[in-house]
Structure 1
Amino acid sequence: MNDQQNANGLPRRQFVALSGTLGAATLLTGAAAMSGGTAAAASGVSAGPTPDSCPTTPPPPGGASPCPPAQLQGICGRPTDNDPLWHDVQYCVNGTVPPPPQQKPNCLKMTPNYIVLHGKPETTHNYLLVPTCRITGIECPFLETGGVANYWHEAWENARRGGDVPVQSTHIGLGINSQGARQLNQLHIHMAAIRPSTQRRLQELEMQGRMTTSPSQWAASANQAPITGTGGDRVYRILRLPNLTSNLFDLLYTNVVRPNSLSMADQTLIVVPKITSSGFANAFYVLNSDTSLHDGTSTCDRLLVYS
């Protein structure tokens, strides 16, 4: 069960119309800035319109990403929301103590765009990357816009061997749950382990040509395959990418969700770096599924190993 009731937001078509009315400058508001080593609160609410035009490329490393504007708070969440993970963000960013009985989190890493926390259970291969912007989850349409921080790339850079918060496992998986499958309503990417059998299965599917390197073909049935996880086999759409420089949320919406009249809120997204006996093979398997697929799933928890 979710920790809070999700607000009924604007339908996507209203968001598109709204964005055209408001203009790009209003849609992309500033995130919290870092001062004296401590970030100001990331409220997701702009102090007012800015004359700057919408950025079309991700901000430079270390810079602050825009946050969803006030007009999207019905979908993306409000800074006053009572969500435990959002309270953790506010503690790490500006020292606001979470309400009892919630405990203060261990802030493993803090940046203008995200923080890294322990997952539950706390192990050496279970972490969370959480935006400092108020973003409820995958259903927030702001994630598909230009200029939003590349949270997937940052998760990999932290989780990989030699990263700031490395996942202590030979095989790493990054994942996000659907709105219905998650327990906390602040966007978080799981940085965890996967089974060696999952890595082998994906490499076998690659050799068999049962995945695509073209995002436009991601939803094709030829690129769908069962992968064994907790509770048996589930079917995933599989895309192979050479890097994580693209906005995966936008790729998913543009190539899978919108053409098939699906809901972004129902999607799970999983990234598995390709690892061979020589190490990281400079490729990523990007898996997507939802319950519209036969034997599909809307959770990443079947493939990720937390404990």
Structure 2
Amino acid sequence: MKRLLLSCLLLAMSGPIWADAGLLERLVGGFSRDGLWKNVQARCLTPPAPTHPDCVVVDRQQGFVLYKDAIGASHYLVIPDQPVTGVDDARIWGDAAQPNQWAFGWDVRGAVARAVGKPLPDTLPGLAINSKASRSQDQLHIHLDCISEAARDFLSGGSGPIDTRWRDLRFRGRSVRAILIPATQPTLAVNPFDVVRQGQDAPATANMADRGVFMAYVRQPGGVSGFVVVDDPVDKAVGSTGHASDFLDRGCKLARALPADGDRQIGGQQIGEREAAPTR
């Protein structure tokens, strides 16, 4: 029964039903807002060394876990090994000494390629975190997966040019802002949280919880290559919930459409059906 309900929820992900962060708990039942953190603690952070297949990477030195999400064969979560609620935690916006969650997630993006069984260009993986208003779990988790077709069109300038100044654009009918951080090599040397914070009109961080953030790498033929950072703020007046993981595709269609590699090796964990809710 639970699997059937989850299937119905996944079919609804692109519609208005998915905009209500609390609806998932009300429909499925039994999934507490600290369930993700409890699972990570029990499976990945409790001595001895983790053996659960969901603990793809456990790096206590950097302080992060790459955790396999319940839904989507190539969908992973970057999670701190300490309690951090999410974008509403002031530490991620104001403490330069905090480790860079995004850089860790970008460095382990090879998990996505292993999950789909073929090499992927650096322009296909993306990272996203949802706003407080649109998440279902109160432990910071950055989503890692392939970008969606809509995101590909957005990054290629379909909604307007993206350059080294903040631009007001639209994605799937909602207002977002985007900026390009030049980088000739796909090495992430900035923290997208800092990029978004520094791009605000006011230095205060009181409203920073009301936004999602997305990041991906672009190579522009004849132009500047680098990392695009998208600020996806909540705007209740127009129905924007800051659900930045809309830039990602749990089905990884763009990657699966690539020619198959001759030596098909899957180094990641292949995940089948689970009786758990997709993490938002």
In 1, Cα distance between equivalents of 2:155 and 2:200 = 20
- Map residues 1-307 of structure 1 onto 2, 5 A cutoff: 1=22, 83-91=34-42, 92-95=44-47, 106-112=54-60, 113-123=63-73, 125-144=74-93, 145-159=95-109, 163-164=110-111, 166=113, 168=116, 171-204=124-157, 210-214=161-165, 218=166, 223-228=167-172, 233-243=173-183, 244-256=188-200, 258=202, 263-274=207-218, 282-292=225-235, 296-307=240-251
In 1, Cα distance between equivalents of 2:135 and 2:81 = 19
Q: What SS does the corresponding residue of 1:253 show, helix, strand or coil?
A: helix
Displacement of 1:179 after TM fit?
0.8
1:185 partner letter: D
Is the alpha carbon distance of 1:257 and 1:3 closer, same or farther for their aligned partners in structure 2, counting shifts above 3 Å? farther
Is the alpha carbon distance of 1:254 and 1:151 closer, same or farther for their aligned partners in structure 2, counting shifts above 3 Å? same
Unaligned runs of 5+ in 1: 5-80, 97-103
In 2, Cα distance between equivalents of 1:133 and 1:2 = 27
Displacement of 1:273 after TM fit?
1.6
In 1, Cα distance between equivalents of 2:180 and 2:200 = 15
In 2, Cα distance between equivalents of 1:198 and 1:204 = 10
Deviation readout 1:44-77 (Å, 9 max, x if unpaired):
xxxxxxxxxxxxxxxxxxxxxxxxxxxxxxxxxx
Displacement of 1:198 after TM fit?
2.3
Q: Contact 2:180–2:227 at 8 Å: present in 1 too?
A: yes
Is the alpha carbon distance of 1:251 and 1:276 closer, same or farther for their aligned partners in structure 2, counting shifts above 3 Å? closer
In 2, Cα distance between equivalents of 1:82 and 1:181 = 12
In 1, Cα distance between equivalents of 2:203 and 2:152 = 29
Displacement of 1:270 after TM fit?
0.3
Matched positions, count: 205
Displacement of 1:143 after TM fit?
1.1
TM-score (norm: length of structure 1): 0.58
What stretches of structure 1 move > 6 A for 4+ residues in a row?
none
In 1, Cα distance between equivalents of 2:230 and 2:169 = 10
What percent identity do the matched residue pairs reach? 24
In 2, Cα distance between equivalents of 1:256 and 1:194 = 25
Displacement of 1:245 after TM fit?
1.7
Q: Contact 1:177–1:267 at 8 Å: present in 2 too?
A: yes
Q: Contact 2:133–2:241 at 8 Å: present in 1 too?
A: no
In 2, Cα distance between equivalents of 1:82 and 1:265 = 17
Q: CA RMSD in A?
A: 3.3
Displacement of 1:265 after TM fit?
1.1
Is the alpha carbon distance of 1:192 and 1:164 closer, same or farther for their aligned partners in structure 2, counting shifts above 3 Å? closer
Q: Contact 2:33–2:137 at 8 Å: present in 1 too?
A: no
Query: Highest CA radius of gyration, 1 or 2?
Result: 1
Displacement of 1:287 after TM fit?
0.6
Unaligned runs of 5+ in 2: 1-21, 26-31, 252-280
Q: What SS does the corresponding residue of 2:55 show, helix, strand or coil?
A: coil
In 2, Cα distance between equivalents of 1:128 and 1:255 = 26
In 2, Cα distance between equivalents of 1:148 and 1:198 = 29
Displacement of 1:234 after TM fit?
2.2
Is the alpha carbon distance of 1:3 and 1:138 closer, same or farther for their aligned partners in structure 2, counting shifts above 3 Å? farther
